[in-house]
Amino acid sequence: MHDFIHTTHPQRVVFGAGSLRHLAREIDALGAKKALVLCTPEQRPQAERVAASLGAQAAGLFDRAVMHVPVETAREARDLARRLGADCAVALGGGSTTGLGKAIALESGLPIVAIPTTYAGSEMTPIYGLTENGLKKTGKDPRVLPRTVIYDPELSRTLPVGLSVTSGINAIAHAAEGLYAQDSNPVMDLMAEEGIAALARALPAIRLEPGDLAARSDALYGAWLCGGVLGAVGMALHHKLCHTLGGSFNLPHAEVHTVVLPHALAFNAQAAPRAMARIARALGGVSAPAAVFALARDNGAPVALKDIGMRAADLDRAADIAVANPYWNPRPFGPAERDAIRALLQRAFDGEPPG
């Protein structure tokens, strides 16, 4: 028997190879005249081409987006937008650049056009993250939801294979946790399963041929679906562990998701059998945790926290932080489960298959 509440976010999505050419039209459709283009330093050449294509519609370029959005960077970008008279922001890049756009929108209300070039999914969510004095806080606000999203798989062809695989598994993590979320609903479940299946098809093909446009399109389609799930329902143990490891120990975002997901799923397996069956089906495997582990390992992604910058000496503190303010999870993980979480982290640290 169905019993749910679902809020649909007001957002326009333009999807397709070459759809970047519609950017000027989409800025017009927002009623905006001058866009501040945002990017990371690494993506400046790509962003310069986008700004050039906008001509007089481009107010300027800010190229200092970094992971986890330091408040100082957000302030600088916001000030620049004001000085240049920008009335919208174009975020070209992954979750870090979209996150910078969100930080600008949070205080200024400037509409954002997001052009995602990774599979992180931030463009589909009203979730923002900001880091101040080394502490990352996240929140939800409808103002930060990008008003328009342009998904152009051509732009993700340059995403290195390693980051393509880990970012794809970051997306899969949103869908996997969505399938056992307490506030999920049948439409989100369909999106989640389809999103996981699309990414599971696409990632091995991208590893073989990074420029494969059909595979890039499939991966971005999967990322769109998984991002939609993240934006609509609550996340659980896996995201809590990743925010702890990323936020307090500065581990790289997509990689940490990739290493932790099989272990978080194993922890939840008995408490969420229907979700596990759907994840396994989408991945073409028998067991959800094992299938995620194999997807990572077989495509050259890291499977051990020790290989992505975690120190053994920090595992105890990570377990303490993770259980101190637990999220809702199908299997509770408060202070009483601290030893089980510590054991999970040890397996993830060593790169053992999920227990």
Ligand X SMILES: NC(=O)C1=CN([C@@H]2O[C@H](COP(=O)(O)OP(=O)(O)OC[C@H]3O[C@@H](n4cnc5c(N)ncnc54)[C@H](O)[C@@H]3O)[C@@H](O)[C@H]2O)C=CC1
Ligand Y SMILES: O=C(O)/C=C\C(=O)CC(=O)O
Binding site for ligand X (CB under 6 A): 40, 42-43, 67-68, 93-97, 99, 117-118, 120-122, 125, 127-129, 155-156, 158-159, 163, 167, 230, 253-254
The option from ligand Y, ligand X, none interacting with 262 (CB < 5 to 8 A, set by class) reads none
The option from ligand Y, ligand X, none interacting with 217 (CB < 5 to 8 A, set by class) reads none
Please state, in angstroms and as integers, the Cα–Cα distance from residue 32 to each residue in 47, 72, 105, 110, 301, following that order: 19, 26, 14, 10, 41
The half-sphere exposure of 315 on its side-chain side, counting CA atoms within 13 A, is 18
* 303 token code pair: 């499977």
Nearer to ligand Y, 264 or 269 (CB): 264
Dist. CA 263–CA 267, nearest whole Å: 6
Rg for the chain (alpha carbons), in Å?
19
Least spacing, CB of residue 191 vs ligand Y, in Å: 16
The option from ligand X, ligand Y, none interacting with 43 (CB < 5 to 8 A, set by class) reads ligand X
CB 28 within 8 A of CB 20: no
Least spacing, CB of residue 339 vs ligand X, in Å: 28
Nearer to ligand X, 97 or 184 (CB): 97
CB under 8 Å to 90, separation ≥6 — which residues?
23, 27, 35, 36, 37, 38, 50, 54, 101, 112, 113, 115
Nearer to ligand Y, 98 or 287 (CB): 98
The option from ligand X, ligand Y, none interacting with 330 (CB < 5 to 8 A, set by class) reads none
Nearer to ligand X, 156 or 287 (CB): 156
Query: What is the binding site for ligand Y (CB under 6 A)?
Result: 99, 127, 129, 138, 170, 239, 242-243
Least spacing, CB of residue 332 vs ligand X, in Å: 25
First to last CA, the chain: 33
Least spacing, CB of residue 227 vs ligand Y, in Å: 9
Dist. CA 113–CA 109, nearest whole Å: 13
Region class of 351: left (phi > 0), else alpha (psi between -120 and 50), else beta:
left
The option from ligand Y, ligand X, none interacting with 158 (CB < 5 to 8 A, set by class) reads ligand X
Q: Running DSSP on this structure, what letter comes out for residue 10?
A: -
Least spacing, CB of residue 321 vs ligand X, in Å: 16
Nearer to ligand X, 155 or 319 (CB): 155
